[in-house]
Structure 1
Amino acid sequence: MCHNIIGDLARFCFLYFIVYIPYTCSFWMMFGGDVEEFETVSETLFSLFRMTLVDEYNYDGLKEENPVMCDILVGTYLAISAIVMLNLFIAMLSETFVRIHDNASSNALMERAAILSCIHDNLSDEKKQAYYKHVHDEPMKEYYDDDMALEGKKHQR
């Protein structure tokens, strides 16, 4: 499971840096050195990371320096990084967990089938015939109403 999560994290980081690095360059070219929290490249990198987490950043200083580019850069960066990227990361992890769970369930059913097959193979002929006769003569009968089954599914959600 950890191997799959690390793989998802690596794919997400690669995709995130494809967006993060160009936006860092854009913010640095527009506001670098002139706006507090954007005075050095490392401060710009950290401020953009905080923007991704929808944390506080110096929006007023950016707006004062260049109002049009501030709205364009901040708006598109927040839309892409905070909304699209983080939701994509959540979806990737959810899909991984579902895939791992389905695989584990399939393996458990296969193990159960292997155990039952082994037990069946080790039964004596006399016990096998008694079992076959029991299944043939006394099948399990249960009442089934499809309306009740549909109601049960509604309550499970």
Structure 2
Amino acid sequence: MAKTGWTSRRRRLFLDALRASANVSAAARRAGMSRSAAYALRQSDASFRAQWDDALEEALDALEEELRRRALEGVEKPVFYGGKPCGTIRSYSDQLGMFLLKCRRPAVFSTHGASATESSLTEEVAGARAELGARLARLADSCSAEADGES
């Protein structure tokens, strides 16, 4: 550990910061190490790599939960009148909700998933290929019969 500079304290600082931020650069700074040194340790140490993956997974779970909360419960935003605050409104984010649905249910909500149009197009292409294959087979048989007749 000492020859790389990654003491157990620095590893703990890095992993705690990664768990809190999901940001490798910020976590490396917190540990007093470079980003490239963190990736080098990740590459060479399977135990550290597993801890890194766990910390990042926890950070992303927390982020996902916060996005879900904002989409469903909204956030309070101040309302101003005459330049002075006069109350708040609760604002919800449909965009966050759609983003989460696209990630969690891509078959239903993803714009990259196969649509009905794409599926029917795939079926048409498969049918055209089969028909073309049959025509080529008939043409090959015809050419073979002609060649047999010429000999």
Q: Would the TM-score normalized by the shorter structure come out above 0.5?
A: no
For CA contacts below 8 A with separation 6 or more, give which structure has more relative contact order. Answer: 1
TM tier, smaller: 0.3 to 0.5
| Higher strand fraction (1 or 2) | 2
| Higher helix fraction (1 or 2) | 1
TM-score computed with the length of structure 2 as normaliser: 0.32
TM-score computed with the length of structure 1 as normaliser: 0.32
